[in-house]
């Protein structure tokens, strides 16, 4: 079968009186409609196209669960908004008493003087729970008022299923979020250059209180998985392993969140590798079926991708004009699709 494309020859003076018909073969088809999302280890996940500002796929996106230290991304946004990076912070007894996250993690100690920028790096690179408390107290005077700001910010971002009860993500009954809400938070964080610069640091050292501290990022895939640039890891007994990742690939930028995993690294790698196969020529070709009865033939996960294609803005904010060529392609798609889908019933 061939598509029939009508090619109009035009000049600056108007259309040519002659039209000729060109027969084009259909584009080559591989396994249709595309490779399905990977079956990763995790209770919930979501992949987001930054350019398309749209979901590309998800599993249990509205399942309420503990977000662990992904929480610190909200803390970081509020700190950047409300405190100068050069401000000095004296660590309180309350911050000093906050549990560390893992054995051997360098802590902050009562009476030490840290700058806001150092503490920001502390929470984003090595995920310091005590440093998050020190920053909350510096910004708002106490943790309770800072948490109120966190929930106000979450509401403003449309995070309708999120409740923050602390600035660090330590397990607390009722401290909950969802994959969808955390993607919204990640999308907002991309507007903060200080956070983007800091969250991609692999190693950092601090000289404070007579101590020289050298720490490695909790995100072990920084520098190992091409294109991965932050944003925040987490790991608690209730949350298990979690990761909100930002990826810059050749053909697009993506946000991925994995929750409730036993191996957030491999789960995130699989999702990002899959995301990089989306929004390609095949998706744009079949986008014409979105919103029509033909879309009923697609798997649900592929309909989500078609919606993402449709969300991309056309030039000038207006849809492209209909032409004999686009009408011909749409007609051919209608003819071809049932045969391509074959045995789907």
Measured between alpha carbons, how far is 71 from 164 in angstroms, rounded to an integer? 8
Please tell me the number of Cα atoms within 13 Å of 24 on its side-chain side.
Answer: 15
pLDDT, one tens digit per residue, over 170-229 is 999 999 999 999 999 999 999 999 999 999 999 999 999 899 999 999 998 888 888 888
140: helix, coil or strand?
helix
Q: Of 72, 92, 140, 177, which one is the catalytic site residue?
A: 72
Closest CA to 92 of 80, 76, 109, 107: 109
pLDDT at position 16: 53
In the chain the domains, ranked by start, together with CATH numbers, are 44-275 (3.40.710.10)
Q: Which residues, 6+ apart, have CB-to-CB distance to 24 below 8 Å?
A: 2, 3, 4, 5
pLDDT, one tens digit per residue, over 137-173 is 999 999 999 999 999 999 999 999 999 999 999 999 9
Active site residue 72: yes
Contact 303, 310 (CB under 8 A): no
Q: Of 49, 92, 127, 199, which one is the catalytic site residue?
A: 127
Residue 313 has pLDDT above 60, yes or no: no
Measured between alpha carbons, how far is 164 from 195 in angstroms, rounded to an integer? 20
Measured between alpha carbons, how far is 261 from 272 in angstroms, rounded to an integer? 15
Closest CA to 55 of 180, 229, 211: 180
Phi, psi of 214 (to 5 degrees): -120, 125
The answer for 252, left when phi > 0, alpha when psi is -120 to 50, beta otherwise, is: left
Cα 143 to its chain centre, rounded Å, is: 28
Average pLDDT over residues 267-288: 88
Active site residue 205: no
Pairing of strands 88-90, 54-59: unpaired
Measured between alpha carbons, how far is 195 from 75 in angstroms, rounded to an integer? 11
Q: Six-digit token pair at 92? A: 């309180």
pLDDT, one tens digit per residue, over 20-43 is 676 766 655 545 567 888 999 999
Closest CA to 305 of 105, 67, 48: 48
Please tell me the number of Cα atoms within 13 Å of 262 on its side-chain side.
Answer: 2
Q: Which strand (E) or helix (H) includes residue 172?
A: none
Q: Of 49, 58, 69, 177, which one is the catalytic site residue?
A: 69
pTM listed for this prediction: 0.81
CA distances (Å), origin 273, targets 37, 142, 167, 222: 10, 42, 32, 15
Average pLDDT over residues 276-305: 84
Angle 71-82/116-125 helices, nearest 10 degrees? 160
Q: Could you count the other beta carbons within 10 Å of the beta carbon of residue 17?
A: 6
Active site residue 69: yes
């Amino acid at each position: 079968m061939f598509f029939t494309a009508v090619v109009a020859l035009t000049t600056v003076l108007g259309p040519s009186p002659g039209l000729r018909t060109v027969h084009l073969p259909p584009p080559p088809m591989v396994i249709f409609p595309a490779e399905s999302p990977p079956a990763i280890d995790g209770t919930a996940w979501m992949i987001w196209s930054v350019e398309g500002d749209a979901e590309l796929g998800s599993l249990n996106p509205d399942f309420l669960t503990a977000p662990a230290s992904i929480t610190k991304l909200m803390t970081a946004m509020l700190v950047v908004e409300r405190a100068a990076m050069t401000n000095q912070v004296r660590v309180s007894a309350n911050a000093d008493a906050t549990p560390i996250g893992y054995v051997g993690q360098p802590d902050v100690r009562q009476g030490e003087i840290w700058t806001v920028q150092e503490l920001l790096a502390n929470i984003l690179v090595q995920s310091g729970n005590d440093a998050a408390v020190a920053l909350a107290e510096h910004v708002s005077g106490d943790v309770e008022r800072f948490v109120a700001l966190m929930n106000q910010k979450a509401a403003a971002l449309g995070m309708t299923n999120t409740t923050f009860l602390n600035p660090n993500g330590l397990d607390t009954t009722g401290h909950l979020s969802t994959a969808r809400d955390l993607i919204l938070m990640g999308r907002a964080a991309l507007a903060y250059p200080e956070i983007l610069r800091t969250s991609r640091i692999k190693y950092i050292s601090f000289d404070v209180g007579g101590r020289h501290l050298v720490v490695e990022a909790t995100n072990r895939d920084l520098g190992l998985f091409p294109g991965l640039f932050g944003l925040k890891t987490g790991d608690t007994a209730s949350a298990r392993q979690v990761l909100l990742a930002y990826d810059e690939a050749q053909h697009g930028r993506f946000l991925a969140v994995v929750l409730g995993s036993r191996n957030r690294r491999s789960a995130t790698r699989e999702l990002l590798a899959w995301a990089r196969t989306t929004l390609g020529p095949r998706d744009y070709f079949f986008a014409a079926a979105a919103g029509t009865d033909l879309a009923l033939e697609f798997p649900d996960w592929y309909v989500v991708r078609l919606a993402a294609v449709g969300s991309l803005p056309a030039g000038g904010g207006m849809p492209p004009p209909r032409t004999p060529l686009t009408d011909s392609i749409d007609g051919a798609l209608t003819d071809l699709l049932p045969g391509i889908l074959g045995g789907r019933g």
